[in-house]
Amino acid sequence: MAVSLPDGATIAIATTYGSVKTVTAITNANPGVITSAAHGLLNGAFYELKSGWQKISDRVFKASNVATNALDVTGIDTTDTNRFAAGTGVGSLREITAWTQIPQILEFTTSGGDQQFANFSFLEEDYERQLPTVTSAQSIQIGIGDDPSLPGYQALKAAGEARAIRALKVTLPNGAVLLYNGFVSFNETPTLTKGSVMQVRATISLQGRPTRY
């Protein structure tokens, strides 16, 4: 059993990406192994993956076991061919080559991600049953101390104006890393509450499950 505080965590947004590399195959293995000719990534690099396997598509991963034309989908078990149909995981990847830290964060909260259910009842029954369906859409809300001169502020503003999908990296005090990927929206109007720090708010609407290392 262990608990920890988030104090000291840092958050950064991806601001530069490498060129798109074709993924010609992903194996059914633990972890899955990507084939991508001359992908150029090094061990420890972060990359965004798009795949025919929707369960891993539009997510961000950390490169490991890197070879010239291959690398692992670190932490992802793709052995189940019912969930990951053989030969259909092809797609593309692109390396995240630069991050910009978002300083002065006052709040970091999430919403959504709750399991949804389909309710049903047989004719002869006087009670309902449930089957799990999907989880609800998930988003992250970040409250930031208002300062338009900061590079992190400008990076969020640019991503919001472009309506772009951007990766978000949270580095916890113990060195663990959380990776998110989603559309960025940014509200530049600061809160104006007497006696409270003015803050602006960014929202990241996630396009896939987070990844944790």
Q: Could you tell me the domains of the chain?
A: 16-97 (2.40.30.180), 101-212 (2.40.30)
Q: Is the pLDDT of residue 78 over 80?
A: yes
pLDDT reported for residue 2: 83
34: which residues sit within 8 A by CB, 6+ positions away?
23, 25, 26, 49, 70, 71, 72, 73, 93
Predicted TM-score (pTM) of this structure: 0.92
Structure confidence at residue 101 (pLDDT): 98
Is 56:49 a contact under the CB 8 Å cutoff?
yes
Q: Which of 102, 131, 132, 135 is nearest to 210 (CA)?
A: 135
- For 84-103, the pLDDT digits (tens) are 999 999 999 999 999 999 99
For the chain, the maximum distance between any two Cα atoms, rounded to a whole number of angstroms, is 66
Tens digits of per-residue pLDDT, 121-175?
Answer: 999 999 999 999 999 999 999 999 999 999 999 999 999 999 989 999 999 999 9
Contact call for residues 205 and 139 (beta carbons, < 8 A): yes
Q: Quick check: 74 pLDDT over 90?
A: yes
- How far apart, in whole angstroms, are the C-alpha atoms of residue 54 and residue 52? 6
Phi, psi of 152 (to 5 degrees): -65, -40
Cβ pair 105, 144 in contact under 8 A: yes
Q: Is 70 in contact with 79 (CB distance < 8 Å)?
A: no
Q: Is the pLDDT of residue 1 over 80?
A: no
